[in-house]
Structure formats: C-alpha cells, structure tokens
C-alpha cells in the first residue's frame, strides 16, 4: 500500500544518527561514532539503591503525576542551576523531560512555524537539525571558530534573516568540542535582547570539564530571565537509560512547552525522576562526575597523542577542554562520508562531519567520541583510522 505521510516527515527520511546506532551495535566494530558514556563507569549501585528507596516509600510513587515532573527533583536541579548562576527562576520554570532531546523538540514545536528561521552553529548537533527541519523551519548555520559563533557572521545573519530563535551548544560542543568565550556569550545575549530572538542553550556536556579551574558561565546566567532557555540531562553524568533531562527558562515558554508535552506524552517516567532525586541526595554525584572527568580526560589525551603522532598532512585538530568529542578536519582532498564504509570494513566507526552542518558542509571533517572506547580500543582504532587516511591521501596524491 502507498501511504501518504505529512509533509513534515520529508526531512526525517534519512537519519544519520539512526545509521550510527546500527553500526555501534555491530559486534567487533570499535565505535568512535555514538555519543555514548562508558557503561563501565555507570554508578549502578547508587542507581539501584535509589530505586530501592522509591519502592520502600510505597505505592503512590507509581501513579500518574503532573506533566512538569517530580517536584523534589526539580527543587534539587533548581539549586544546581542557581550554583551555575542561572537564578532568575523558580520550580515553576523548570520542567523535567525525556532527555534534553525532548526539550529541543518541544521548544521547536511551540516556537517555530514552517519557514521561521532558526540559526545554529555550523557545525551543530545533528539531531537538533533533524528536529528543526521536521517542523519545516529554515535552519541557517553561522560560521564558528575556536571561540564560538563568529559575531560578524552572526550579526549579518540576524540582519538578513531576522531569526526567531538561535540554538547553541556553547560548552564542549557536540560535535566540535569547543567552548564559547565569555565575550561572545555576553554578546549573544545582548543581541537577543536587541533583536528579540530566543536562545536555546543546550548543555549536556558542561559538567564534564577537564580543567576545573576555569569557569564557563552559562549563557542563561547572563540573561535577565526573558530570552534564554537552558537545557541539560542526567544522561552524561548519571545514566542514559533513565532518559531524564530538564529545561529552565521564562515561564511563558516553559508553560507552553509543558502544554505541548502533555499532548506529546502526558509526563515522563516519574519513577526514574524519584530515583534520581534519591541519587542526588544520597549519592556523591559530584564525586562521581570527578571520576568521569579524570577517566575521560585520560582517554582524550591518549587519542590526542595518537592523532598527533600520526602526523596526517593537512589535519586540523583542537584539544577539547571537556565533553566527549574530537572534531577533525582532514586534508581537503579527503571525503569522510566516502571513507566511512572502508573504515567500518576494517572495524572502526566514526561520524562523518557532513550531517552536522546546517548550511555549508565540510566533507573532510569527522567526529570522534573518546568516552566510550577502552584505551586498547582507542590505540587499535586510531591506528586503523590513521592508516586508512594515509592510504587515502596517497591515493589522492597528497605527499604523506
């Protein structure tokens, strides 16, 4: 039978993330592709104890609850937000969701008409691009450098497109691993106030900061409570399977997103929200994050050293200050989408850079995750990849 789908699904038909997850699950493939934390570091015992506490408190916790989520967990998160300088809000303005992915989706759902313009970093989180396209928004990429969006390009695109919204991942960005400078964060907020657009600040990786002495002020902390929504998740600091994220921001927008969420799924898994409340109060979450940081930093350093040592002609590579990802720009003659099947055939997966771009894809880029693979896998996998890239350079007649 031929089914006629809604126009909005056209953009969904090909999904890079979906293909990635399939590769990740193949036996024997070393995957630098997914954005996965390391299973072995999951605080299983703390999570199990937290669930036991919920069950011990009786049956009522298994009932339906309100759309915004379990209030005591929202109180704890509000407190954590305030410590980051985001202090314009109350629990009425903080909602729990099914991961921060749902925040991106609900935000787009309530904000974007077909044809409305949203600006993103170029490159940016590819599943956010998918969401914006699925609401038939016009997505325009803003050029970035080491310090975030280039402000001249941003101002030009604000002038030309009069965007309704801007989506950014300013701290240890996915995919680029970069950190916005304080000045650009401030400038973005002042542009938002001047030109009346709403910023969605997506910060899933902010806690995974390798150098604890620096301070990266959230963009939402520089706002006056009118123009920036901040979202994060427990997926990278606790565990992904609980699918618990949150969003904090201006009441009118949160309230509208909550109404959209009610239509979407009534409420998220509230048993997990209650367990995470116990996890936050009875378990040393910050100590656990320190463990993650130290482990991920050493894997990052290993991968960095191996990539440097391979001495690939034309390679551009920055050492990430946190998060989970390396962003590589190879010699301009290499095409990472074309090279992927060869890499997978040799037993290594990565994500080609192309789908991360809103506007002008650089086909010689790729993203490598360093948080999921073991050190042995990193050594083995990077050797395979750099050999493959060298061979491709030779084929392209670049002197290696």
Work out how close the CB of 365 gets to a copy of itself at its nearest, in angstroms, rounded to a whole number. 23
Does 215 interact with a copy of itself (rule: CB under 8 A)?
Answer: no
| Closer CB to a copy of itself, 270 or 364, in the complex | 270
161 touches a copy of itself (CB under 8 A): no
Site track 334-373 with a copy of itself (rule: CB under 8 A), x = hit: ----------------------------------------
- Least distance (Å) from a copy of itself to the CB of residue 33? 12
Q: Does 269 bind a copy of itself (CB under 8 A)?
A: yes
Q: Is 138 in the site for a copy of itself (CB under 8 A)?
A: no
- Cis peptide leading into residue 123 (ω within 30°): yes
Is 17 a binding residue for a copy of itself by CB under 8 A? The answer is: yes
Among 23, 29, 33, 65, the residue binding a copy of itself under the rule CB under 8 A is 65
The answer to whether 61 contacts a copy of itself (rule: CB under 8 A) is: yes
Strand pairing partners for 317? Answer: 328
Burial class (CB in 10 A: 0-12, 13-18, 19+), 271: middle
Q: Does 62 bind a copy of itself (CB under 8 A)?
A: yes
5 binds a copy of itself (CB under 8 A): yes
In the chain, what is the greatest distance between 2 CA atoms, to the nearest angstrom?
A: 69
Least Cβ distance, residue 241 to a copy of itself (angstroms): 4
d(CA 258, CA 107): 10
Cβ neighbours of residue 196 closer than 8 Å, sequence gap 6 or more: none
CA dist 81 and 221 (Å) reads 9
Sequential DSSP letters for 161-199: H--SEEEE--BS-TTT--B--HHHHHHHHHHHHHHT-EE
Does 399 bind a copy of itself (CB under 8 A)? Our answer is no
Q: Which residue has the tokens 């980051």?
A: 84
Among 74, 93, 95, 105, binds a copy of itself (CB under 8 A): 105
Distance (Å, whole) CA 141 – CA 121: 5
Give exposure, 251-267, as e/b (b: 16+ Cβ within 10 Å). eebbebbbebbeebeeb
Q: Is 92 in the site for a copy of itself (CB under 8 A)?
A: no
Are 128 and 120 in contact by the 8 Å Cβ rule? The answer is yes
Binding mask 181-200 for a copy of itself (x = CB under 8 A): -----------------x--
Stretch that binds a copy of itself, among 80-88, 144-152, 249-257, 303-311 (CB under 8 A): 249-257
- DSSP state letter for 209: B
Kindly indicate which of the ranges 268-276, 284-292, 303-311, 344-352 contains the residues binding a copy of itself, using the contact rule CB under 8 A.
268-276
Applying CB under 8 A, among 23, 154, 189, 242 the residue interacting with a copy of itself is 242
| Whole-angstrom Cα Rg for the chain | 21
* Span from 14-22, 138-146, 202-210, 344-352 in contact with a copy of itself (CB under 8 A): 14-22
Site for a copy of itself (CB under 8 A): which residue of 98, 174, 209, 369?
98
For a copy of itself, the binding residue among 88, 134, 173, 369 (CB under 8 A) is 134
Binds a copy of itself by CB under 8 A, chosen from 23, 30, 33, 47: 47
Place of tokens 């015992």: 45
CA distance 232 to 225: 17
Binding flag, residue 74, a copy of itself (CB under 8 A): no
- Of 372, 327, 387, nearest to 354 by C-alpha is 327
- Who contacts 90 (Cβ-Cβ below 8 Å, separation ≥6)? 78
Give least dist CB 95 to a copy of itself, A.
Answer: 13
């Amino acid at each position: 039978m031929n089914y006629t789908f809604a126009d909005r699904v056209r953009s969904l038909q090909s999904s890079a993330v979906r293909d990635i997850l399939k590769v990740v699950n193949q036996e024997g493939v070393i995957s630098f592709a997914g954005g996965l934390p390391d299973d072995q570091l999951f605080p299983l015992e703390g999570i199990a104890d937290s669930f036991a506490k919920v069950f011990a408190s009786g049956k009522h916790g298994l009932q339906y609850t309100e759309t915004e989520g379990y209030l005591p967990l929202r109180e704890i998160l509000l407190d954590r937000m305030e410590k980051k300088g985001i202090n314009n809000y109350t629990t009425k303005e903080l909602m729990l969701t099914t991961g921060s992915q749902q925040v991106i989706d609900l935000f787009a759902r309530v904000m974007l008409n077909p044809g409305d313009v949203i600006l993103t970093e170029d490159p940016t989180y590819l599943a956010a691009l998918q969401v914006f396209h699925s609401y038939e928004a016009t997505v325009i990429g803003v050029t970035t450098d080491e310090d975030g969006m280039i402000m001249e390009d941003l101002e030009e695109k604000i002038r030309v497109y009069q965007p309704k919204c801007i989506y950014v991942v300013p701290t240890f960005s996915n995919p680029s691993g970069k950190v916005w400078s304080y000045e650009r964060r401030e400038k973005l907020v002042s542009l938002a106030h001047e030109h009346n657009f709403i910023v969605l600040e997506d910060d899933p990786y902010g806690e995974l900061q390798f150098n604890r002495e620096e301070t990266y002020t959230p963009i939402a902390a520089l706002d006056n409570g009118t123009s920036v929504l901040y979202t994060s998740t427990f997926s990278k600091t606790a565990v992904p399977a609980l699918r618990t994220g949150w969003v904090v921001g201006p009441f009118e927008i949160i309230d509208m997103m909550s109404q959209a969420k009610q239509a979407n799924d009534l409420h998220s898994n509230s048993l997990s929200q209650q367990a995470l409340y116990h996890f936050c109060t009875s378990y040393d979450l910050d100590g656990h994050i320190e463990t993650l940081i130290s482990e991920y930093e050493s894997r990052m350093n290993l991968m960095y050293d191996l990539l440097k040592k391979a001495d690939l002609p034309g390679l551009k590579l920055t050492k990430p200050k946190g998060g989970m990802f390396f962003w590589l720009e190879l010699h301009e003659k290499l095409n990472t989408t074309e090279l992927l099947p060869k890499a997978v055939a040799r037993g290594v997966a990565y994500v080609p850079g192309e789908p991360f771009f809103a506007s002008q894809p650089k086909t010689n880029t790729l993203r490598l995750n360093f948080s999921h693979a073991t050190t042995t896998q990193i050594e083995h996998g990077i050797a395979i990849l750099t050999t493959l890239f060298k061979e491709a350079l030779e084929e392209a007649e670049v002197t290696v």
